[in-house]
């Protein structure tokens, strides 16, 4: 059994996929060919954003968004420590300071009450209000923006986040790397905040066969800046450089692959939800031991991960070991909150700074999840979990 198995998907699109790739190879427009533009239009419309700018990865999408907002040294960017490293990495890379905010226990997304406290602490340089990075105590940082993460495919609470951010003159970037296709209050992920970023890494809900990403925005000026930044800060033409940028374009072949995969994507969102709902149903009688994911009524998750929360110490690791012995792959997202990573040790956050993130890191486990997981496979997985818990409970 594979954690993510896209064999069936490949069969479904095989003919279309081959035709598209063949055409791109024949035409030879490998960089910024017509498929790139077509993909941007199709996905902008799907998301409900005015502009879509494709780029080389989800990480570069976040980097481009921060660069377009002019972020740099002295700026504080608020995000959670319970996310993939890329979210905070790009903040540090351009010399700004990631300011961590704990997550909500039910959704794994940024806790908006904590966000208010963290902003107050940065403004007052006082860590008694909320844990803040070491360098924010000596030097006053400017609260510049929030990167809200849609963890496991569930959108963050954007109405609240945007309201808080605007009260403090801050921008909002949506890290929709895991949530492309998800919905919040009737709108698609990728349409929230000043700029939203997604990833087409192969394992994401809409993935290509390599690296890829995209920025979405309703703001024409920001869109023009990102278009320039992803192509060496280009101005009127290729050899006119008006700002410092990067080589951050999406390959034409990846755009073609994504167009092909997008043709069945809406159906795959439904399949993912059927798989997730069936997991939740089958696991619900274990609620004394594990919690199934919570999805607010006004949201649709796209289930980048199906993640359980175990409530007894040691149980998570035992379930993982028992399932592994039966050939069932599982994953821990994320075993180490970012404030415990060596790369962020300079921020000086002591253990206990973000209790929910720290607890979740020891208790979460993600199960095999993809649109084509069969009922037989699912029954086998759930049965293995039940056996593991029973032997743990009785030992
Ligand atoms: C995958 C991911 C990214 C980075 O995307 P890449 O395409 O791998 O660079 C950023 N943020 C989150 C939350 C992710 O899951």
Please state the atom number of ligand 1 nearest to the C-alpha of residue 203: 1
- The answer to whether 352 touches 340, Cβ cutoff 8 Å, is no
Residue 313 has a pLDDT of 78
Residue 237 has a pLDDT of 86
Q: Which residues of the chain have pLDDT under 70?
A: 395
List the helix and strand counts (H, then E) for the chain: 13, 13
Task: Round to whole Å and give the CA distance between 9 and 12.
Answer: 5
Dist. CA 305 → ligand 1 center (Å): 13
Residue 265 has a pLDDT of 98
Tell how strand 290-291 and strand 306-310 pair up: antiparallel
Q: Could you tell me the pTM of the whole model?
A: 0.98
Which protein residues touch ligand 1 with a CB less than 6 Å away? Answer: 57-59, 83-84, 86-87, 149, 175, 177-178, 199, 201, 211, 213
Please state the atom number of ligand 1 nearest to the C-alpha of residue 199: 7
**Ligand 1 pocket mutation pick from 55, 59, 60, 214 by most atoms within 8 angstroms of CB:** 59
Residue 392 has a pLDDT of 77
Chain segment 116-144, per-residue pLDDT in tens: 999 999 999 998 989 999 999 989 999 99
Please state the atom number of ligand 1 nearest to the C-alpha of residue 62: 10
Residue 395 has a pLDDT of 64
Closest CA to 189 of 172, 173, 205, 176: 176
Residue 238 has a pLDDT of 83
Dist. CA 287 → ligand 1 center (Å): 31
**Ligand 1 pocket mutation pick from 56, 77, 86 by most atoms within 8 angstroms of CB:** 86
């Amino acid at each position: 059994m594979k954690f993510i198995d896209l064999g069936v998907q490949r069969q479904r699109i095989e003919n279309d996929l081959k035709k598209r790739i063949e055409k791109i190879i024949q035409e030879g427009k490998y960089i910024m060919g017509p498929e790139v533009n077509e993909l941007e239009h199709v996905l902008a419309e799907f998301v409900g954003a005015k502009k879509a700018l494709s780029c080389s990865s989800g990480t570069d999408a976040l980097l481009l968004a921060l660069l377009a907002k002019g972020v740099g040294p002295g700026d504080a960017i608020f995000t959670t420590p319970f996310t993939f490293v890329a979210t905070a990495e790009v903040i540090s890379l351009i010399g700004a300071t990631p300011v961590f905010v704990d997550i909500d226990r039910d959704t794994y997304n940024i806790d908006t009450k904590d966000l208010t406290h963290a902003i107050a602490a940065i403004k007052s340089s006082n860590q008694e209000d909320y844990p803040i990075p070491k360098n924010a105590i000596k030097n006053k940082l400017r609260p510049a923006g929030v990167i809200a993460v849609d963890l496991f495919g569930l959108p963050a609470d954007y109405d609240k986040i945007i309201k808080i951010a605007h009260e403090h003159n801050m921008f909002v970037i949506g890290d929709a790397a895991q949530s492309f296709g998800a919905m919040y209050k009737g709108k698609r992920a990728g349409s929230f905040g000043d700029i939203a970023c997604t990833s087409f890494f192969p394992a994401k809900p809409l993935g290509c066969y390599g690296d890829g990403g995209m920025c979405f925005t309703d703001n024409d000026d920001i869109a023009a800046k990102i278009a320039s930044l992803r192509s060496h800060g280009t101005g009127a033409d290729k050899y006119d450089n008006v700002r410092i940028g990067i080589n951050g374009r999406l390959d034409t072949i990846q755009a073609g692959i994504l167009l092909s995969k997008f043709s069945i994507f809406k159906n795959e969102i439904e399949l993912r939800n059927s798989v997730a709902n069936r997991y939740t149903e089958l696991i619900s009688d274990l609620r004394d031991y594990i919690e199934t994911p919570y999805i607010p009524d006004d949201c649709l998750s796209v289930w980048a991960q199906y993640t359980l929360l175990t409530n007894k110490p040691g149980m998570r690791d035992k379930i993982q070991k028992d399932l592994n012995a039966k050939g069932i792959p599982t994953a821990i997202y994320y075993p180490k909150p970012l404030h415990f990573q060596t790369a962020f040790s300079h921020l000086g956050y002591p253990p206990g700074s973000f209790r929910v993130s720290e607890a979740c890191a020891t208790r979460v486990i993600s199960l095999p999840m993809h649109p084509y997981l069969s009922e037989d496979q699912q029954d086998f997985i759930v049965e293995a979990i039940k056996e593991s818990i029973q032997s743990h409970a009785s030992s």
